[in-house]
Amino acid sequence: MTSRVGLVGLGYFGKILLDTLREIPGVDVVAVHDRFPDRANDITLLNAHFHNRLEDMFEQETMDAVVIAEIPGYHLQPTQLAAAKGMHVYCEKPMANTPSDCDKMIEVCARNRVKLMIGFKHRFAKAMAYAKRQLPRLGRPYWAMYTYPLWKVDDPGWKFDEKGTRGIVVENMVHAFDIMRYFFGDVRSLYAEGDHFVYPNTTLPDSAILVARFENGAIAGIGGGCTSEQRVTREYLDMHFEKGIVQVSGKLDQPYNLRILMRDEPLPEDHSFEGSDGVREEIKHFFECIREDKEPLCTGSDGKKALEIALAAIESIQKHTIVSLASR
Ligand SMILES: NC(=O)c1ccc[n+]([C@@H]2O[C@H](COP(=O)([O-])OP(=O)(O)OC[C@H]3O[C@@H](n4cnc5c(N)ncnc54)[C@H](O)[C@@H]3O)[C@@H](O)[C@H]2O)c1
């Protein structure tokens, strides 16, 4: 059966999601919304109707699901409108600006019995997914180091709004926080240092390094920000376990290479998953969850927890203190 989908937000990532949705068999994008009418000119509508008012889209269209790619402060409203009409929700990371918005999104989706999936594409990149399946044979996690730096974005705009998204730690490093939770579980406490090296007019850090202690005793260092250069930037995740070592690497957001060395084996196994950045895989997964009535791999709770790590990192930077997440 075909899923009729509405897309909310036609910015940089909304357009990528539109192309991705149109590649998936059984998915029909019937409506698109952007609050800036000009954005309709950036896309080919095909059989989709464009709506400038969000409410019009929900009043006039028959849809099974929505995909939300607006700025994080505007993720709650379309989630509420969709859930109230029994539509499933896929929402881009970061899930929202505040944990309180996350709670409202989780509550309204649960009450209306619709799926809520948060777009943490890294979990679906084949290298990460393969590494995750090896956890049972790797034994106890010891420590990890994750380098995840973005380049300097031209106009920081909404990404550095003290009342909004609260900078690159929330907007971008949240991917790395989610991945570390995916492998090591919940964070117990963290300490972070950060600074604004390239955006002197913001109080929010454009660079941050944090050390996290996980509930299971593992530790991780995570570094990111937006001081790199698009020409050379890369991500690199090095994880040490009792029985083996896992290395995932590639250009930023292209973690295609995987090396696993089991300590009792002479040679590592190497994999290259060229082209798998997780975006196509995560969108397919969302529709599979709808069809098969399964819980998505990235839930609202995962979205909220990753946001809480980001906000705790900012708090730690601003107060120069260790922040506990144990009670959150
Ligand atoms: N998963 C990923 O790899 C990935 C990559 C990039 C962006 N994203 C996420 O997608 C969402 C949109 O990001 P983007 O990069 O497409 O942003 P963008 O600036 O290109 O587009 C912003 C979108 O939000 C809307 N908007 C509402 N109020 C706005 C305002 N005050 N200023 C600017 N835009 C406003 C715009 O109409 C547009 O639809 C964010 O949640 C972002 O974190 C995810």
Please work out whether the CB of residue 150 comes within 6 Å of at least one atom of ligand 1.
no
Q: Which atom of ligand 1 is nearest to the CA of 72?
A: 41
Would you call 1 helix, strand, or coil by DSSP? coil
Pocket test for ligand 1, best of 71, 123, 233 (most atoms within 8 A of CB): 71
Atom of ligand 1 nearest to the CA of 75: 41
Whether residue 94 has a cis bond before it, omega within 30° of 0:
yes
Q: Report pLDDT for 199.
A: 85
Q: Which domain holds residue 62?
A: 3-114
**Confidence class of residue 160 from pLDDT cuts 50, 70 and 90?**
confident
In this structure, what CATH number is given to the domain that contains residue 107?
A: 3.40.50.720
Show which of 95, 114, 133 is a domain's final residue: 114
282 part of a folded domain: no
Q: 149 and 80 in one domain?
A: no
| Ligand 1 proximity of 70 Cβ (cutoff 6 Å) | yes
* Tokens representing residue 69 in the block: 């790619």
Residue 284 lies in a domain: no
Distance 36 CA to ligand 1 centre (A): 12
The verdict on the CB of residue 101 being under 6 Å from ligand 1 is no
User: Which domain CATH number covers 269?
Assistant: 3.30.360.10
Residue 319 has pLDDT above 80, yes or no: yes
How far does the centroid of ligand 1 lie from the alpha carbon of residue 32, in Å? 14
Q: Let me know whether 236 and 262 are in one domain.
A: yes
Our answer on whether the CB atom of 122 is closer than 6 Å to any ligand 1 atom is no
pLDDT recorded at residue 292: 97
Give yes or no: residues 142 and 247 share one domain.
Answer: yes
* Number of folded domains that form the chain: 2
Task: Decide: 12 in ligand 1 pocket, CB within 6 A.
Answer: yes
Which of 71, 86, 114 is the last residue in one of the domains?
114
**Residue 195, pLDDT score:** 95
| For residue 163, pLDDT beyond 90 | no
Show the tokens assigned to 111: 């009450």
Query: In the listed set 93, 114, 135, which residue is the last one of a domain according to the structure?
Result: 114
User: Is residue 104 located within the same domain as residue 169?
Assistant: no
Give 74-117 pLDDT, tens digit per residue: 999 999 999 999 999 999 999 999 999 999 999 999 999 999 99
Q: Domain check: are 265 and 155 in the same one?
A: yes
Element (H or E) spanning 200, and its range?
A: none
Strand order in the sheet with 65-68: 49-51, 27-33, 3-8, 65-68, 88-92, 116-119
Indicate whether 288 belongs to any domain. no
**pLDDT of 157 over the 90 cut:** no
In a domain, 292, yes or no: no
